[in-house]
Amino acid sequence: MAAYFNMETLKFLMFNVHKLEELLLNERYNAFDKESILLFLQSVADFSDQDLYPIFKEMDEKPAKFSEGKIHVHPKIKDILIKQGELGIIGASFDEAMGGLQLPATVMHAAYFIMEAANNHIPGYAGLTAGAAHLISSFADKKYHDQYVPNMLSGEWSGTMCSGTMCLSEPQAGSGLSDIKCSAKLTDDGTYRIKGHKIFISGGDHEFAGNIIHLLLARIEGAPAGTKGISLFIVPKYKISPDQTLVDNDVITAGDFQKMGQRGYCTAHLVFGDNDQCTGYLVGEENKGLLYMFQMMNDARIAVGRGGAAIASAAYYASLQYAQERQQGRRLLSGGRKDEAAGPTLIINHPDVRRMLFLQKAIYEGSLSLILQSSIYHDREISEKENNNHWNLLLEFLTPITKTYPSEKGKLAVDNGLQILGGYGFCADFILQQYYRDIRIMSIYEGTTGIQSLDLLGRKVLMENGLVLKTMLAEMQNTISEGKMDERLMATAKELEDQLPLVEATLAHLIPIAMKGETEKFVSDATLFMEAIGTIVVAWQWLKIGITASNALKSSDAAFSASMLKNKLHTMRFFYKYELARNKSIFKIIQSDEVLTLAEDEAFPD
């Protein structure tokens, strides 16, 4: 079995860097201890080895396909989703009272990270099902919870498969959800008639679906224009009749998008109510749909970042293995002579190949740490009521970054992995090209990088009069202060500290532009701002990793080998030298008075 993730690193990040055991003291989670969590993660790793990884390549080579009104997916998908239900993966973080395991979301993310590194074409089915079930249990009438949620969490509907989706996108409304046209008309029995098209719906339909519960955004007739007039509906593929049998709900599958990556994961075009027979059940209150949907979208954003980190992890281990086996070229001796006598060397000995390996490792481990950091904030927010606003502010700030950094830099990491294989990297016999294609979607769905960047600069930085940003910077400053006390880390901590005035200077340049009402100009380089802040946030994660590794080395912590701990410190230094140092030039571009991208400045040319 090829390696696609490293359990030791995952444990180190969860229990040592992010101190999961402190969270477990909390009443909500105190049924678990380190041992039970490690057992759970090991069962997920075994399942991933036995069921997910073996069909990863096959799912790409024989993609999901639409024919005769049905989407055909890999034949093992049905059993896999039911098995995920049995393992408790779908309902991992749900309350016990609802049929979940009540595990911290941090553990759930770690489990999905393992599964996605093994096969990123499958966990989305369970992830979206859990997200849809969470929306129903949070905001819908209890009777809908009782009808749908237990089946969704078990992954089963009368022996067949049950899953959930998020139905937002329409042909004319992708990034701009205010233009949603899908309509809902109130009927005499209090339900709604749904009509419209939804496109790009992940897990939207397939041959094994005993039922699929769509969480769909639509506009009730007469609702206000824009986002204030959008409502949320439960629209099952099959509705439950009074005698409890399932009847067709007029949801037609019009096709499956054929994609460059994640080809085994179906992406449906769905038509609702073509025969005026599609029933939808309102979730919560009218016109509050987008507000509710943000719960699922925010969770999904963290999940997309996690997918990016997982693919980058798998690509790293695949390229590492290749670099340890492939011989090519000679090592350079002093004076530039080639070491002909020794014969060809393993390519892992060439500094440029080592640079590409370290870059991948620095990006994927930094990204994984960021995902765990965000999920720890989430777990604290829901379990520490007295202090939940503090954790909420931190999570708000980190969410767009946690989606974007692993997606964008993950692409760079996988690209470097592919480069390590030389010509073979470009060939179908080797897996790197699949990772390269699969990871490409991460910076597009769940809000593109452009949209996440607008959220970060246009909303989060300004939110609560700058309190969100201030809270985040204070959190980083705490880590910096801790790092400065350690001789081994002093210089690294200082390098991170030196970034903070750059952020302040950049905002001192941008905020007056916003105050003048020149909003388009203010956000014109939001994506560059995201890139620089993302790098700072991950540098902060690396400093945390460095502090933990350094402390463990000092105390000769036997839980981890000295070579692993030293490698963490080395990779931290790599990140600071090769990645963080680039930030100065990015901030300089943002602070430049020369704005070249506004529509009225220059017509787009021939």
Judged by the rule CB under 6 A, the positions of this chain that interact with ligand FAD are 165-169, 174-176, 200-202, 259, 267, 441, 444-448, 450-451, 454
For residues 424 and 564, give the distance between their C-alpha atoms in angstroms, rounded to a whole number: 30
DSSP β-ladder status, 209-220 and 183-186: parallel
Give min distance, CB of 308 to ligand FAD, in A. 14
Nearer to ligand FAD, 345 or 448 (CB): 448
SS3 30: coil
For residues 402 and 446, give the distance between their C-alpha atoms in angstroms, rounded to a whole number: 12
**Partners of 483 in the β-ladder:** none
Nearer to ligand FAD, 179 or 475 (CB): 179
For residues 568 and 573, give the distance between their C-alpha atoms in angstroms, rounded to a whole number: 9
Nearer to ligand FAD, 168 or 457 (CB): 168
Nearer to ligand FAD, 103 or 230 (CB): 230
For residues 269 and 199, give the distance between their C-alpha atoms in angstroms, rounded to a whole number: 4
What does each C-alpha distance from 603 to 352, 423, 597, 598 come to in angstroms? Answer: 42, 41, 10, 9
**Partners of 209 in the β-ladder:** 161
Give min distance, CB of 184 to ligand FAD, in A. 16
Give min distance, CB of 506 to ligand FAD, in A. 19
Contacts of 499 (CB under 8 A, 6+ apart): 536, 539, 580, 583
Give min distance, CB of 122 to ligand FAD, in A. 14
Give min distance, CB of 247 to ligand FAD, in A. 25
Give min distance, CB of 445 to ligand FAD, in A. 4
Nearer to ligand FAD, 174 or 422 (CB): 174
Q: What is the DSSP string of 257-297?
A: ---SS-TTS-EEEEEE-TTS--EEEE-SSTT-HHHHHHHHH
Cβ atoms of 311 and 438 within 8 Å: the answer is: yes
Nearer to ligand FAD, 168 or 394 (CB): 168
Q: Is 219 exposed, middle or buried (0-12, 13-18, 19+ CB in 10 A)?
A: buried
Give min distance, CB of 526 to ligand FAD, in A. 8
Helix axes 499-515, 526-554, angle to 10 degrees: 160
Give min distance, CB of 187 to ligand FAD, in A. 25
Give min distance, CB of 151 to ligand FAD, in A. 20
Q: What would the two tokens of residue 413 be?
A: 């990491």
Nearer to ligand FAD, 140 or 168 (CB): 168
Residue with the CB atom nearest ligand FAD in the bound state: 174
> Backbone phi, then psi, for 141, in 5-degree steps?
-55, 145
